[in-house]
Structure 1
């Protein structure tokens, strides 16, 4: 019987030959998979259906605050998947409105979702999509908590300057002016007059602004008084009327 050499006793060296072969095979499989799947992209099904408040809370093990934050991050990053960015014009704003109100039910005091709705989703170029955002901000902006009035003011801005809807913006501005929130600046009371001027109803605007000067001047900042004066003298009155009007010939509060 022939004597076996040390090499024959060792047999097949897997570490030397088998492992590199396995790695090459795995690399070939990966390359093959990539060549077939490299054109595949994830598809976005638009805004998902909104769950009920109970369902949203149960999904977060009963923690409403956790749900508010998780769903808020989802809304913040919605549509930005697969390395692509979705244009705001492609979003379903009616469904977004439902999500906004769901979030409000989970945390009615937070300003995170109102800010997201007003400043992010409110930047859409489709004017009709702004209506659900304005509807939401109108409700939130009438809450008595401090600084909530800002969202109603933003609704006025979107309606007036983006949608150019002088009818609804005046209605929103009137609601804003009638709020009794103590931290509101004087310009919020002036917004109905500004919109009336844009509508050509200068006499009504004049009555509002003059009423503010006569009744609230002592509580107003001099800069706010000068703003009212400028609107009366430069945008409402004619040059000949302004030349003899007592408000225009002096600077109240100056």
Structure 2
């Protein structure tokens, strides 16, 4: 019996041979798995369906502000998964619009989501997709709170200079000019005239700008007055008309 025990002690040494063998086997299995799975990539299912307002709040344990921030971060980083970045042209902008308005129900005063919509998602190269963004900014930009008007101004910019839609941009510019928010600068009321010039309707643009000079010049910054004069003299009037027009000849050096 003692001889058998002594033999067992001289038998297979697991700590010396078994453990290294097990580690080598695990390494071989890991390499085999990697060779089969290394080309697999996480697939992106595009913009997820938007929940209801009630469902969104319940998911955040009744905290609307936490929901606004969590969903906002989700929208900010949406599509950036698996070490890859998704081109903005691949996003479903109709679904994004639903998310923007959901966020508005959670916090209508914050400018975080409007800024994300205007300056981030508004940079897409697929210009037709911008319509849902413009629709959203149009609604937000007509709010009476300070600085909300700038989102409507951004909608005008996207419609006019990115989509080159002179009809929609004029409608938006007219809404912007008709706002009565106290902190709006004078150039916001000039926007319809600028678009009318682009449409070739120079007489209507002239009437708008001249009306501003005649009625509001005392309340305007000198730089804004010079801008209006430049538009009248350089873009609306012909050189012959500008040479004799009082607005143009009153400019020093004009």
TM-score category (smaller protein): over 0.9
Change (3 A) 1:203 1:30: same
Distance 1:2 1:66, change over 3 A: closer
Distance in 2 (alpha carbons) for counterparts of 1:22 and 1:150? 66
- Give, in angstroms, the shift of residue 9 of structure 1: 3.5
- Change beyond 3 A, Cα 1:13–1:183: same
For residues 33-92 of structure 1, give each alpha carbon's deviation from its aligned partner in whole angstroms, at most 9, with x where no partner exists. Answer: 111111111111111100000000100111111111111111111111111111111111
In structure 1, C-alpha distance between the alignment counterparts of 2:25 and 2:3, rounded to whole Å: 36
State the partner residue of 1:53.
53
Q: Which runs of 5+ in 2 are unaligned?
A: none
Alignment partners' CA distance in 1, 2:238 and 2:253: 23
Given that residues 122 and 130 in structure 1 are in contact (C-alpha distance below 8 angstroms), is that contact kept between their aligned partners in structure 2?
yes
State the TM-score, normalizing by the size of structure 1: 0.95
Structure 2 match to 1:245: 245
| TM-score normalised according to structure 2 size | 0.95
Cα shift at 1:10? 6.9
How far apart, in 1, do the equivalents of 2:95 and 2:163 lie? Answer: 20
Deviations along 1:123-171, one digit per CA (max 9) or x if unpaired, are: 1111210100000000000111111111100000000001111011000
Q: How many correspondences in the alignment?
A: 254
CA distance 1:63–1:202, shift in 2 (3 Å):
same
After superposition, the Cα gap between the structure-2 partners of 1:164 and 1:9, relative to the gap in structure 1 and judged at 3 Å, is same
Indicate the SS of the match to 1:3: helix
Q: 2:104 is paired with a residue of what secondary structure?
A: helix
Q: Any gaps of 5 or more consecutive residues in structure 1? A: none
CA contact (8 A) 1:222 1:253 kept: no
CA distance in 2, matches of 1:86, 1:53: 27
